[in-house]
């Protein structure tokens, strides 16, 4: 259930930003998530509701933008976009083939991070 811990982190970031602007309420949080984080958006929204209950972010809308993952091939040095297969989502295994030379000697360079992009507040 890493969605809940993650939702709580998002809330803390949003809350700190809101305090800086003396906001009374947070009405919306815009979040970017790399596809390879294995975060389930619906679960995250539910967790966010729980994490913000009774706070200045209660009722805030969580807007989630999923960004595609990217890998770099260690053999040909080219980059490819990758998406998670259903199998990878079930097993948590993330092995990606280079889209250019089919090598699986690759490293993930993007898609495992998430960040709060913007928040909307009421002053
Ligand atoms: Zn390659």
What is the CATH classification number for the domain harbouring 36? 3.30.2320.50
Same structural domain, 99 and 117: no
Note down the domain range covering 78: 70-108
Residue-wise pLDDT tens digits, 58-67:
999 999 999 9
**CA 72 to centroid of ligand 1, rounded, Å:** 8
43-96 pLDDT per residue, tens? 999 999 999 999 999 999 999 999 989 999 999 999 999 887 766 666 666 678
Residue 45 shares a structural domain with residue 74: no
Residues lining ion ligand 1 (Cβ < 5 A) are: 73, 75-76, 98, 100-101, 103
pTM score, whole prediction = 0.79
Could you give the count of Cα atoms lying within 13 Å of 89 in the half-sphere of its Cβ? Answer: 8
Residues 29 and 54 grouped into a single domain: yes
From CA 67, how far away is CA 114, in angstroms rounded?
A: 9
């Amino acid at each position: 259930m890493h969605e809940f811990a993650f939702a709580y982190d998002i809330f803390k970031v949003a809350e700190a930003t809101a305090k800086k602007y003396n906001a009374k309420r947070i009405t919306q949080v815009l979040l970017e998530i790399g596809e390879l984080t294995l975060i389930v958006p619906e679960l995250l929204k539910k967790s966010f509701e729980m994490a913000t209950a009774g706070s200045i972010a209660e009722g805030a809308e969580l807007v989630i933008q999923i960004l595609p993952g990217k890998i770099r091939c260690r053999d040909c040095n080219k980059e490819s976009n990758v998406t998670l297969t259903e199998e990878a989502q079930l097993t948590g295994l993330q092995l990606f083939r280079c889209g250019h030379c089919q090598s699986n000697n690759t490293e993930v360079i993007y898609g495992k991070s998430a960040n709060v992009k913007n928040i909307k507040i009421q002053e």
